Amino acid sequence: MQTTFTLAQLADPHIQQANDILRKCVHCGFCTATCPTFVLLGDELDSPRGRIYLIKGLLEEGVKPTPQHVTHIDRCLSCLSCMTTCPASVDYMHLVDDARAKIEREYRRPLMDRALRRLLTLVLPYPGRFRLMLVGAWLARPFARVVPGRLGAMLGLAPGRVHGPADVDRPQVFPPQGPLRRRVALMTGCAQQVLNPAINEATVRLLTRHGCEVVVAEGQGCCGALVHHMGKEDLSHAQAKANIEAWERAEAALGTIDAIVVNASGCGTTVKDYGWMFRRDADMAGRAKAIAGKTRDVTEVMMDLGIDTGALTAGDRPVVAYHSACSMQHGQKLTAPPKALLAQAGYEVREPAEGHLCCGSAGTYNMMQPEISARLKERKAANVKRTGAQVMAAGNIGCMVQLQDAVGMPVVHTVELLDWATGGPKPAGLE
């Protein structure tokens, strides 16, 4: 793609970075075939190629974002399917993230939009606050169908049960069962530990059963993804820095940590990108890159360790429909490990059609863009049902919450099935 930035503009490292990304795009349009919003809406501006044109004009002209820019960039799910498809390796992820940061700095949103974003920023990354909000949402949930728009969508996502704080999420060290093979730090997350604490519990059991010492570091928190995708760079970087420092302190106290284990793929994609986030920070760049280099999805760690076949329990296994979260398959390029592990554990694994398309969760997208999200949810749920499976597995809490009431079968995390197959309890909903 030809660009016309001036030398003065290119002196800005953000513009130089955008220019490098833009010039890789060859207008081929392969991305349009795999972009969920273009597939649904058929509008070129709701495709990656269209958004790239919008961002190019926005930056070249040096103007403030308009409602048109904001509408179409807001509709992007950041599913990154376009990056998997792109033959030119256009770094769309970082381009659209920078555009969102520019919108956050320079565009004044309508009052209700600002209020909702502020609420999500103040609540979702903090488990205690989020738990309190869910109690209120649970009480109001019966009215979700008559409440319009975004508020109704938020109420509809409220779980049927609000869990209290789980012991597994407090700072501590879990010793391995048997000889020590790895020392790993588990990222316990923010929203996930509130919505489904069983995931972290199953992860700890599975890892310790396979010889891992599991460290829950004091001071860790939200990975920063939720606010990062709202364009709130300063806050997302502050949350990322807190995590880096927490894991550095844990390593200084306990010795070498072999891996930072993440069991929510959306968080994993962000933590693996910490090196990029801090690339211009002289103090943090090397430290962030080191943490990013150690970060692994739990299925990556388990592939290295190998399923202990001696621990496999007898009994029938349900047929599993495996839903590969966008952040898993497109963000981290992990497609084989979860399916291979489930097969090793004795499950028959089936993949839904259109597996590359997003389910519509995408962090806060299902609250910010409820109409598009609902259409993607229905499409994904129909494909999952067609597999004829008995249970759906996924590696991302957002996808699980999005689909749990739509697929007509229990929805569990991949680690819950692996834990059950190697001696852990049967996941809730499969009793």
- Name the pLDDT band for 146 (thresholds 50, 70, 90): low
pLDDT given at position 79 = 97
What does the alpha-carbon distance between residue 264 and residue 250 come to, in Å, rounded to a whole number? 21
pLDDT given at position 143 = 65
pLDDT given at position 129 = 92
Q: Are 331 and 80 in contact (CB under 8 A)?
A: yes
Average pLDDT, the chain: 94
- Residue 61: both structure tokens together: 């002209």
Q: Which fold has domain 312-421?
A: Rossmann fold (3.40.50)
The letter for the amino acid at 40 is: L
Res. 159: pLDDT tops 90: no
pLDDT given at position 221 = 96
Res. 70: pLDDT tops 70: yes
- Name the pLDDT band for 12 (thresholds 50, 70, 90): very high
pLDDT given at position 148 = 66
Q: Are 341 and 307 in contact (CB under 8 A)?
A: yes
- Name the pLDDT band for 141 (thresholds 50, 70, 90): low
3-state secondary structure labels for all residues of the chain: CCCCCCHHHHCCHHHHHHHHHHCCCCCCCHHHHCCHHHHHHCCHHHCHHHHHHHHHHHHHHCCCCCHHHHHHHHCCCCCCHHHHHCCCCCCHHHHHHHHHHHHHHHCCCCHHHHHHHHHHHHHCCCHHHHHHHHHHHHHHHHHHHHCCHHHHHHHHHCCCCCCCCCHHHCCEEECCCCCCCEEEEEECCCHHHHHCCHHHHHHHHHHHHCCEEEEECCCCCCCCHHHHCCCCHHHHHHHHHHHHHHHHHHHHHHCCCCEEEECCHHHHHHHCCHHHHCCCCCCCHHHHHHHHHHEEEHHHHHHHHCCCHHHCCCCCCCCEEEECCHHHHHHCCCCHHHHHHHHHCCCCEECCCCCCCCCCCCCCHHHHCHHHHHHHHHHHHHHHHCCCCCEEEECCHHHHHHHCCCCCCCEEEHHHHHHHHCCCCCCCCCC
The letter for the amino acid at 269 is: T
Residue of 306, 133, 134, 121 whose CA lies nearest to 210: 306
The pairing of beta strand 212-216 with beta strand 391-394: unpaired
Which residues are bridge partners to 182 per DSSP?
212
Residue 178 to residues 172, 182, 210, 211, Cα–Cα distance (Å): 19, 11, 8, 6
CB atoms within 10 A of CB 297: 27
pLDDT given at position 149 = 72
In the CATH scheme, what architecture does the domain 167-302 have?
3-Layer(aba) Sandwich (3.40)
Give per-residue pLDDT as tens, 194-204.
Answer: 999 999 999 99
In the CATH scheme, what architecture does the domain 7-106 have?
Orthogonal Bundle (1.10)
Read off the pTM.
0.93
pLDDT given at position 391 = 98
Give per-residue pLDDT as tens, 215-227.
Answer: 999 999 999 999 9
How many CA atoms are closer than 13 Å to the CA of 70, on its beta-carbon side?
A: 19
Q: Are 369 and 74 in contact (CB under 8 A)?
A: yes
Give per-residue pLDDT as tens, 375-430.
Answer: 999 999 999 999 999 999 999 999 999 999 999 999 999 999 999 999 999 999 88
Residue boundaries of the structural domains of the chain: 7-106, 114-157, 167-302, 312-421
Res. 321: pLDDT tops 90: yes
What does the alpha-carbon distance between residue 25 and residue 186 come to, in Å, rounded to a whole number? 38
**312-421 and 7-106 share a CATH fold:** no
Res. 139: pLDDT tops 90: no
- Name the pLDDT band for 135 (thresholds 50, 70, 90): confident
What does the alpha-carbon distance between residue 282 and residue 285 come to, in Å, rounded to a whole number? 6
Res. 51: pLDDT tops 80: yes
- Residue 203: both structure tokens together: 């992860």
- Name the pLDDT band for 144 (thresholds 50, 70, 90): low
Give per-residue pLDDT as tens, 244-258.
Answer: 999 999 999 999 999
- Name the pLDDT band for 17 (thresholds 50, 70, 90): very high
Residue of 48, 47, 51, 4 whose CA lies nearest to 23: 4
